[in-house]
């Protein structure tokens, strides 16, 4: 299988050692930074280029800036390849509509938090909710904003489209309902680079409410360095996952039947992708399903916002 990895920034570096789960592959690396592409190729005994290949790719891993995800997905789908795109799946309404109109295309999205064992256990037990709270708090060092694309209004979209999008997606994955109303507040607390570095969403559903909050504005040295959580208050009791990536099952309705879970979801996600590619099955998270969270983001910001970059 010929695999092409496009966009070799922070996300690609983190996932590099996981790509081996795809089995024996012939890797090709693409990045506008030739030195970086060459370095990846040397480590994986692959090839590299600064331009997208025109043919010969079976599976593409797209980790380019957010506003390029759909453009690059179209390129590889056009040559018959299957596609993985990092979160968020799309920013503009035009790209969101394209994904909806092409729901049969093989595109999966990098929402690894869905695959965490604690989150899976909560999803399987989700019923009769009253309140859902989901949060992701992460301090960012200054160097995070000094790479090729983070922290630019045209490509980033703020904390909701970076860390907070996992929270929005997790809430969406719990239910097939669309929220009745969406309320949003966001502001800059630490710097002027991202659209906002602290934000909160209030989603009203039929009979229950979801609260989502996320920040990257914490001082990682003098304050709590990070954490995430998914709390579900049901008529039958409380379920809660926590840890740095929702990997720990912290609260269960009845302790005597609390499942033993541990796993961040990243390995599980790539295992599911490998199985789907090997069997010829559907994508683990179809892009047309994952796009629901971005519709909520658009409702949250509203059409009059001037801080959305390519979100509008």
Query: Would residue 40 count as lying in a domain?
Result: yes
Number of domains in the chain: 2
Helices (H) and strands (E) in the chain, counts: 9, 13
DSSP state of 161: T
Residue 290 lies in a domain: no
Domain membership flag for residue 37:
yes
Phi and psi of 22, rounded to 5°? -80, 0
Same domain, 180 and 231: yes
How large is the average pLDDT for residues 235-257?
Answer: 91
Q: Per-residue pLDDT averaged across 18-27, rounded?
A: 73
3-state secondary structure of 190: coil
Residue 43 domain-assigned (yes or no): yes
Res. 204 pLDDT band, cuts 50 70 90: very high
Any domain includes 201: yes
State whether 105 and 217 are in the same domain: no
Question: In terms of C-beta density within 10 A (0-12 exposed, 13-18 middle, 19 or more buried), how is residue 93 classed?
Answer: middle
Residues 104 and 228 occupy one common structural domain = no
Q: Tell me the CATH number at 237.
A: 3.30.360.10
Do 35 and 159 share a structural domain? no
- Does 217 lie in the same domain as 125? yes
Residues 175 and 246 grouped into a single domain: yes
280 and 235 in one domain?
no
Full domain range(s) for residue 132: 114-264+295-311
- 279 and 202 in one domain? no
What gap in Å lies between CA 186 and CA 243, rounded to an integer? 24
Whether residue 68 is contained in a domain is answered as yes
pTM: 0.88
CATH, residue 274: 3.40.50.720
Same domain assignment for residues 125 and 241:
yes
Name the phi and psi angles at 201, rounded to 5.
-120, 140
User: Do 228 and 151 share a structural domain?
Assistant: yes
Query: Does 305 score more than 60 pLDDT?
Result: no
- What angle is formed at CA 79 by the lines to CA 78 and CA 82, rounded to 5 degrees? 85
93 and 224 in a single domain? The answer is no
- 104: in domain: yes
A 10 A CB-CB count for 212 gives: 25
DSSP string, 292-308: HHHHHHHHHH-TT-SS-
Note the pLDDT of residue 306. 43
Measured distance CA(19)–CA(158) in Å, rounded: 28
| Region 195-216 average pLDDT | 90
Residue, of 304 and 110, whose pLDDT is higher: 110
The partner residues of 133 in beta bridges, in order of sequence, read 211, 231
Q: Hey, what are 187's tokens?
A: 């502001």
146 and 108 inside one domain: no
Q: What pLDDT digit, counting tens, does each position of 151-174 carry? A: 554 455 677 887 889 999 999 999
In a domain, 289, yes or no: no
């Amino acid at each position: 299988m010929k695999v092409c990895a496009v966009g070799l920034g922070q996300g690609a570096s983190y996932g590099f050692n996981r790509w081996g789960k795809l089995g024996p592959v012939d890797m090709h690396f693409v990045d506008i930074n030739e030195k970086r592409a060459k370095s990846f190729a040397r480590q994986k005994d692959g090839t590299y280029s600064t331009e997208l290949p025109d043919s010969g790719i079976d599976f593409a891993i797209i980790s380019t800036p957010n506003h390029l995800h759909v453009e690059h997905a179209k390129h590889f789908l056009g040559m018959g390849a299957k596609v993985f795109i990092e979160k968020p799946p799309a920013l503009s309404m035009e790209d969101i509509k394209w994904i909806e109109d092409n729901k049969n295309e093989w595109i999966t999205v990098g929402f690894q938090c869905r695959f965490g064992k604690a989150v899976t256990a909560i999803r399987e037990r989700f019923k009769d909710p009253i309140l859902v709270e989901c949060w992701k708090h992460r301090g960012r060092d200054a160097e995070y904003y000094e790479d090729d694309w983070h922290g630019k209004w045209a490509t980033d979209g703020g904390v909701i489209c970076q860390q907070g999008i996992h929270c929005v997606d997790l809430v969406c994955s719990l239910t097939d309902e669309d929220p009745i109303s969406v309320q949003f507040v966001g502001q800059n607390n630490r710097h002027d680079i991202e659209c906002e570095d602290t934000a909160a969403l209030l989603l009203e559903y039929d009979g229950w409410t979801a609260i989502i909050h996320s920040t990257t504005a914490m001082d990682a040295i003098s304050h709590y360095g990070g954490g995430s959580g998914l709390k579900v208050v049901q008529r039958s009791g409380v379920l809660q996952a926590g840890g740095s990536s929702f990997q720990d099952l912290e609260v269960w309705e009845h302790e005597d039947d609390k499942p033993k879970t541990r796993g961040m979801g990243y390995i599980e996600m790539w295992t599911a992708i490998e199985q789907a590619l090997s069997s010829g099955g559907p994508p683990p998270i179809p892009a047309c399903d994952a796009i629901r969270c971005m519709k909520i983001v658009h409702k949250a910001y509203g059409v009059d916002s001037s801080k959305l970059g390519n979100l509008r």
